[in-house]
């Protein structure tokens, strides 16, 4: 999928690494062209399950889903995160991302979202010396 160039993908993956250096939380990005006939939150939940993000030790994974052609996205967190962050956190993070997405700047929108998620995760799930990277940091390109 040519939604993001190799250089843009590198920038996003680097942002994930930087964010995860501050927290034991795990961040994954899923990008595809269209969401299909379901809501973006439902698609995000499907990918969350498919990518086995619910298997982190502290249940502190976050998935950012983006359907580029449909101009839709969603952010979801695992049970450990939802017990800690306020609902407004997801909305304020989405608002910051939307300002970039409206200009067609998907890369910086994703990077802003990753940064915001990392800062919030750092508060509740600080990185420990023995922390391991439980999930890959690469971008997962969906089927649609």
pLDDT digits (tens, 9 = 90+) for 103-125: 999 999 999 999 999 998 999 99
In this prediction, residue 1 carries a pLDDT of 47
Mean pLDDT, residues 45-65: 95
Q: What are phi and psi of 72, to 5 degrees?
A: -135, 150
Mean pLDDT, residues 10-26: 96
pLDDT band at 87 (very low <50, low <70, confident <90, very high): confident
| CATH class for the domain made up of 6-141 | alpha beta
Q: What are phi and psi of 28, to 5 degrees?
A: -125, 150
Cβ-in-10-Å burial (0-12, 13-18, 19+) of 44 comes to: buried
Q: b/e string for 11-26 if b means 16 or more Cβ within 10 A? A: ebbebbeebbeebbbb
pLDDT exceeds 80 at position 78: yes
pTM for the whole structure = 0.94
Q: What are phi and psi of 99, to 5 degrees?
A: -60, -35
pLDDT exceeds 70 at position 11: yes
In this prediction, residue 2 carries a pLDDT of 60
Give the residue among 144, 143, 137, 112 at the shortest CA–CA distance from 9: 137
- The residue ranges of every structural domain in the chain are 6-141
């Amino acid at each position: 999928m040519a939604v993001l160039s190799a250089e843009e993908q590198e920038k996003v993956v680097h942002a994930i690494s930087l964010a995860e250096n501050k927290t034991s939380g795990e961040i994954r990005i899923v990008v595809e062209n269209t969401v299909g006939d379901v809501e973006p939150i439902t698609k995000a939940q499907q990918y969350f399950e498919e990518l086995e993000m619910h298997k982190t030790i502290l249940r502190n994974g976050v998935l950012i889903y983006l359907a580029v052609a449909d101009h839709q996205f969603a952010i979801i967190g695992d049970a450990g995160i939802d017990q800690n962050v306020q609902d407004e956190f997801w909305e304020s993070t989405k608002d910051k991302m939307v300002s970039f997405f409206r200009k067609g700047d998907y890369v910086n929108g994703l990077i802003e979202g990753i940064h915001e998620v990392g800062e919030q995760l750092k508060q509740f799930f600080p990185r420990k010396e023995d922390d391991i990277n439980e999930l890959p940091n690469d971008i997962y390109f969906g089927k649609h």
